Chain A
Amino acid sequence: MLFNSVHFLLFFPVVVIVYFLFPPKIRWIWLLAASYYFYMSWNPYYAVLMVLSTVVTYASGILISNSNKKGNTRQKRLWIALSFGINLAILFFFKYFGFAVDSINSVLAWLNIQPVQVAFDVLLPVGISFYTFQALGYTVDIYREELPAERNLAKYALFVSFFPQLVAGPIERSVNLLSQIKKPTRLNYDNLRDGLSIMLWGLFEKIVIADRVGLIVDQVYNNYKEQGYSGVLLAIATVFFAIRIYCDFSGYTDIARGAAKVLGFDLMANFKQPYFATSIRDFWRRWHISLSTWFRDYLYIPLGGNRKGKARTHFNTFITFLVSGLWHGANWTFAAWGALHGIYQILGNVLKPARQKVLKVLHINTKPLSYRVVQAVFTFSLVCFAWIFFRAESIGEAFDIIKLIFSSFQLEYLHIFADKTLFSLGLTQHTFFLTLFCIGVLFTVNAIRTKTSVLSLFKRQNIAVQWFLYLLMLFLLLFVAIYDSDVVGQQFIYFQF
């Protein structure tokens, strides 16, 4: 069940109404049932894996907690190793088995050895990466004695399966979400209004912007060979992909946070205007925050973080980003994307002294807005370059595209801005400019967010202005969004992870 579907449009109000009709102390039971129904609407069998992950991490949480009380370090290490082992084995099998077989077969083919034959296909359960990491984070939190183990299996199950953030995050910390589940929530007008407002914005990002620019991205990336698209067009498509993936993912997160808010839950922010970042390091403080902090807390720091010398810090950084890349998908392109970001960070650190020296020698003032804009543009370019690997179907294709972008980026190809090339890629002239306008609105809102909360600013306006903007947004979503039958109910990109 996608957030941008008729099914969810009917499901969500029913869940909310029945939720608040229940007595506060047992509302969570209805939420648990609704969450499992939500997940099983994709495929009922997927729920078996989620139950298994839930039970394993619940049990290990209790066992680790008992070991903590006894002070038995060896035993608690055993339990956490078991928890990680079982969950990662499940994740590996369903997500990476096919990839592993293909990779092995590539090597075998190179060695002229008979390839490995596998007689079955493995389906990737939706959201498995997200709920697995969320559950594993819980066991580490118990291990670190940051919170006591949850003794109520059903409440813990709700923590793992909470439907707004189940299939594409944010990856919640047990300290935040579990404590909210244990507190009865009450119907609150402010939560309802704020939650629906955030959901509306999320739908705007996803349906109006992401799905529209996605048509251009897919047309160019999928057909660049047959159609002979120029480097200029590929560059534009790459920038559009950057916007698409941001709006798709941020849109999902906003819908998730808004839905949770309506129900009285506060989920963590997952994005903080990432394309305004002034460095790659800054970018990762703003992009997919729940995942980057998860990797920081549960992989980078346990590896030693930056506490074991420069060489080891760089190694830890690289490994963390490589694994993060692979987390996104079973393809070497994702590994390359992650590795590239790792290299960016390492180079950034290594070149920092030299950079500062150059700035000092040239008397460049780093405080003005213009300098930060240049930094942001440069960072955005680096991020877009990396996105090429993320979007491409293979490493070879990524290099192909890069080669085309840099070799055929000539003035003569700029004709695409004058002729109608840009309006023949999936969007008519009308919708192309409407989409550009909406992207402008998006960046303006993000710019405002750097200074203040847009929601608070909005709520301070007169009621007539608020209603007008709400109506504008609703009608824009209804008419422009349900514009192409191909676009209705388009899947969110991060569902494939």
Chain B
Amino acid sequence: MKKNWIRFCAFILLFASLFLLLNERYRHSDHYRSIFGAYKYENVPYGLQLVNFGTSHGEHAFGYDVVMGYEHFNFATNSQMLYFDYAILDTYQDHLAPGCVVAIPISYHSLYTPVEPQLEKFTPFYARFLPADKIPEYTLSEKLLYHYFPILSAKTDVLNTFAPILNYLTSPIFPGNEDEETVRLGAEYRAEHFYNYMEGAETSVQTQTPDYDEVNAVLGMLELCKQNGWNAVLLTTPFPPEFTDYFPKEFKEKFHDQIEELFLTPYPNAVYFDYSEDELFQSNYQFFADGDHIGFIGRPVFVDMFINDCKEVGFLA
């Protein structure tokens, strides 16, 4: 009988050891590191002088290798909410140098898309590199599944625990330029999507009802900038004319008013650059990769423009 209990305990130990080993191996696997480009957070440099956040609009606009002359990091990720922009800035604040320019892209829909319905979808991704206490409303199940034991949520990746996929660890490949017709059609389609069909925001974008989780996230970032002596730059990236024309004039006016009232009034040292209807971009379709993202050709033009604007307001030397 004693032998049986010893065997039982030995089995439990064996299972626990194998599980923990596999879990660690998976955590270090190329697949785990590469999903959604989370690998980039493994090597965030120190002494950053220019950082950007945002969704794919910000991710494509700033690229990864076009910012010359400044220590730069692109914290933007596809569909990233302002909520997580703040969590990331808070986590990596030690990596920013004094006087760092913090670019916070705010697209037309950003302030109106509710956080709550999307948290569950995005939490597994952020659990890969953010500490558990930075991910709000983190349940015990989520902590176990996505943070401490990610192999439990690996899906088909579990089969790739031992497979090297080195090309996943290079910078994301951004698309080149589509032809003008594709950009025009895509722009209208994407604008319609943002205006009418954002998940959970089917009416709040049209009525421009701010989601206060998102608003508070931006305020949190502005406060961090103020406390740390960084320079906050709110911006809206360039879009093709078919995109911006879809939104009524009153919408754009109210959008600007809300930015002024919610962010610039309490934080007068912050600036807002609205590139959404920039003439240079709107008259050059080749600058765009698709209906709402800057492409290969437009990226250095945009970054140059942005850096010059930052210099003009004294944020960069």
Contact = CB atoms under 8 A, between A and B. Distances in A.
B15 A474 contact: yes
A471 B8 contact: no
A425 interface: no
Interface string B141-170: 100110000011111101100000000000
B8 A6 contact: no
A467 B9 CA distance: 12
Given A6-B140, A6-B144, A193 B155 contact: no
Contacts of B154: 479
B4 A189 contact: yes
Given A430-B156, A485-B153, A189 B5 contact: yes
B130 to A, nearest CB: 18
A18 interface: no
A192 B1 CA distance: 12
A428 interface: yes
Given A430-B156, A483-B155, A471 B15 contact: yes
Nearest to B144: A6
Contact of A482 (B120, B140, B153, B159): B153
A419 interface: no
B1 to A, nearest CB: 6
A467 B15 CA distance: 9
B185 interface: no
Interface string A462-497: 010001001100110011001111001000000000
Contacts of A428: 156
Contacts of A483: 155
Interface string B118-149: 00100010000000000000001100110000
A474 B140 CA distance: 21
Interface residues of B, number: 25
B151 A479 contact: yes
Given A6-B144, A189-B1, A463-B7, A471 B155 contact: no
B297 interface: no
A488 B141 CA distance: 10
Nearest to A193: B8
B280 interface: no
A467 B14 CA distance: 10
B11 interface: yes
Contacts of B8: 189, 192-193
Nearest to B1: A189
Interface in B169-214: none
Contacts of A474: 15
A484 B124 CA distance: 12
A428 B5 CA distance: 41
Contacts of B20: none
Interface in B13-60: 14-15, 18-19, 22
Interface in A253-293: none
Contacts of B124: 485
Given A193-B8, A470-B11, A479-B158, A6 B141 contact: yes
B4 A482 contact: no
B156 A482 contact: no
Contacts of A478: 19, 151-152
Contacts of A482: 145, 152-153
A423 to B, nearest CB: 13
Given A479-B152, A485-B153, A471 B18 contact: yes
A463 B4 CA distance: 11
Interface in A436-475: 463, 467, 470-471, 474-475
Contacts of A430: 156, 159
Contacts of B158: 479
A192 B156 CA distance: 33
Interface in A308-333: none
B154 to A, nearest CB: 7
B299 to A, nearest CB: 35
Nearest to B146: A485
A14 to B, nearest CB: 14
Most A Cβ at <10 Å: residue of B1, B4, B22, B141: B141
24 contacts: A6-B141, A189-B1, A189-B4, A193-B4, A193-B8, A430-B156, A430-B159, A463-B7, A467-B11, A470-B11, A470-B15, A471-B18, A474-B15, A475-B22, A478-B152, A479-B151, A479-B152, A479-B154, A479-B158, A482-B152, A484-B155, A485-B120, A485-B153, A488-B145
Interface of B: 1, 4-5, 7-8, 11, 14-15, 18-19, 22, 120, 124, 140-141, 144-145, 151-156, 158-159
Given A189-B1, A485-B120, A488-B145, 6 more contacts: A189-B5, A193-B8, A467-B11, A467-B14, A471-B15, A482-B145
